[in-house]
Structure 1
Amino acid sequence: MASLGSEVDYLVEDGVAVLTLNRPDRRNAFNRAMLAGWAAAIDTAAADPEVKVLVITGAGKGFCAGVDLEEFGGVTETLQRRAYLADDVHAVGRALEHFEKPYIAAINGDAIGAGMDMALMADIRLIADTARLSQGYVRVGLVPGDGGAHMLPRMVGEQRALELMWTGRFIDGTEATELGITMASHPAEELMPAVMELARQLASGPPVAIRTIKRLTRIARTQTLTDHLVHAAAEQAVIQSTEDSREAVTAFKEKRTPQFQGR
């Protein structure tokens, strides 16, 4: 396993890797060390055939308070600030861009600014009803620097996204779910059990098909329907030739639970 450092915890069990941001005294605000460990954990999960699903959450009461302003405040030169974002902060997004397995965010506490953007990068987001989200950049005179202006309008529409980014106001778990930012809101003590139930369900499914579904969904953002159908037909032909596909059909006929072996 790659060296992930002390700022993140990484545990694998039953096909599910849980990545926990571990700076609770800073509400899991990220510094360079955490960002490096976070990106390395994603790469580790991608390369491990035993990992079928990756879950991200935070230690303590916060999910992620965004950039650690104490560290970022010490970066004073313009080119250094740009490099901090491009080389360090955006390393997580780049790692996720190539991560084909399901990535689930368990938003256990506040996700603010870039912390909210990091949560938006997940495929599925579940949130504690006590947690809050905020595009808080504007409150410190900044603009969304970690993909928020790209991702949020696709989830809630441009009008609502602009309102959230312009005001930086906090929304709770209930409103986040009503807006479609999160899939479900749970009492805090029920969040991780709900996330792990979903993660284990996905981990028990046919891994090649699940990864392909994610790939098809992503690439559809830039395809015409005609192009997408051609792509889907090619992927389907490959999937139908896999042992997992044959096992699923056999299990269906035999009225039993399929046992998938794909990687």
Structure 2
Amino acid sequence: MADLEYSRADAVATIMLNRPERKNAFTLQMVRHWADALHEAAKDDQVRAVVVRGAGGAFCSGIDLDELTSVDPAPLSRRRMLTDEVHRVARALEALDKPVIAAVQGTAVGAGLDMALMCDIRLVGESARLSEGYIHAGLIPGDGGCLWLPRLVGVARALELLLTGDVVDGPRAERIGLANHCYPDGELLTRTYELAARLAALPPVAVGFIKRATYESLHLDARTHLNMIASHMAVVQSTEDSAATLAALRAKRKKGVKRSEPKLPE
């Protein structure tokens, strides 16, 4: 079996890290396949949502340390190992307008946690053990931890976690906003694929614009954001999905059908 497996069932694609004997520590070859899988999901119109998970009760323990021994110790070579290899996944995710869910059980440390942080939504099992951990090796977060963690938990709490390398369990991850939800381990994948299926059933153009506008809003002032949204709305309203959804809504209202409230996640 491959160290990284990509598959699709209906409208949901799955990227599974498959080195359970190493707690799914990734190699540089896995990173290339990981980025390729994300590019494939982006191109495939049948894919509406992506799930990232690990095999064997762990998510990812970061980069395989054996990989580091093969890197030329010159500073430029070490830099390129990140920019040209490891960061492929971050760049592919940044370009993907489809929702990506990380299902995290067990270990997610160092770059393994960073890989979960860069996904759009994180669902964790009660067994999850999350840590930036770089500080314990005398390193700095090399795969975006200093970027994504403050966005999720705030600067002060992020600095505490980054500087101490403390481990966060699943329930606490949900409490502090590091995870969207925490579930019993036996329910995690079921809940993950239920959410993925719900997202996959939504109008894809609107989903893509919402995701893109949300991330872009982090860098824009209010006036620029609202001008951008006005243009996005004009495009979305021109799609067949939008027309069909609005027509169905009008038909329900004409029949006096009470509009149901959206179901809140448990």
TM-score over 0.5 for the pair: yes
CA shift digits 1:138-163 (9 cap, x unpaired): 11110111110111111111111111
Cα distance, 1:10 vs structure 2: 1.2
**How many angstroms does 1:241 deviate by?**
1.1
1:81 pairs with 2:78: yes
Q: What is the 5 A alignment of 1:50-89? A: 50-75=46-71, 76-89=73-86
Deviation at 1:254, TM superposition (A): 3.2
CA contact (8 A) 1:11 1:17 kept: yes
**Aligned partner of 2:88 among 88, 91, 95:** 91
Cα-to-partner distance string for 1:60-96 (whole Å, 9 max, x where unaligned): 1210100111111332332221111111100000111
Aligned partner of 2:212 in structure 1 is 215
Partner of 1:242: 239
**Identical amino acids, percent of aligned pairs:** 48
**Offset of residue 238 of structure 1:** 1.1
Task: Report the alpha carbon displacement of residue 235 of structure 1 after superposing the two structures with TM.
Answer: 0.6
Contact 1:7 1:33 in 2 (8 A): no
Given that 1:117 and 1:148 are in contact with CA atoms closer than 8 Å, whether structure 2 keeps it comes out as: yes
- AA matched with 2:107: D
Match of 1:109 in 2: 106
Task: Give TM-score scaled by structure 2 length.
Answer: 0.92
> For 2:75 and 2:143, how far apart are their aligned partners in 1?
17
Instruction: Give me the whole-angstrom Cα distance separating, in 2, the residues matched to 1:153 and 1:253.
Output: 42
* Matches of 1:113 and 1:141, distance apart in 2: 12
For residues 37-58 of structure 1, the C-alpha deviation after alignment (integer angstroms, 9 at most, x for no partner) is: 1000000000000000011000
Q: Partner of 2:62: helix, strand, or coil?
A: coil
Runs of 4+ in 1 over 4 A off after TM superposition: none
TM-score normalised to the size of structure 1? 0.93
Q: Which amino acid aligns with 1:73?
A: T
- Residue 187 of structure 1 aligns with an amino acid whose one-letter code is P
Aligned pairs for 1:1-263 within 5 A = 6-75=2-71, 76-255=73-252
Q: Secondary structure at the match of 1:194?
A: helix
Q: Describe the superposition over 1:182-220 as per-residue Cα deviations: whole angstroms up to 9, x where unpaired.
A: 000001110010010000001111000000000110111
CA distance in 2, matches of 1:158, 1:240: 37
Partner AA of 1:86 in structure 2 = T
Structure 2: distance between partners of 1:223 and 1:83: 30
Equivalent residues, number: 252
Query: Match of 1:233, SS?
Result: helix
The alignment yields a C-alpha RMSD, in angstroms, of 1.2
Q: How many Å apart are 1:253 and its aligned residue?
A: 2.9
Give the Cα separation in 2 of the matches to 1:254 and 1:110: 49
Q: Which runs of 5+ in 1 are unaligned?
A: 257-263
Which secondary structure does the structure 2 equivalent of 1:63 belong to? coil
Q: Deviations over 1:201-255 (max 9, x none)?
A: 0111100000000011011111111111110011101111111111001222334
The 10-residue stretch of structure 1 (5-14 or 145-154) with the greater mean CA deviation from structure 2: 5-14
Tell me what 2:261 maps to: none
* Secondary structure in 2 matching 1:62: coil
**Structure 2 counterpart of 1:191, which letter?**
L
Q: Secondary structure of the residue that 2:147 maps to in structure 1?
A: helix
Distance 1:221 1:161 in 2: 17
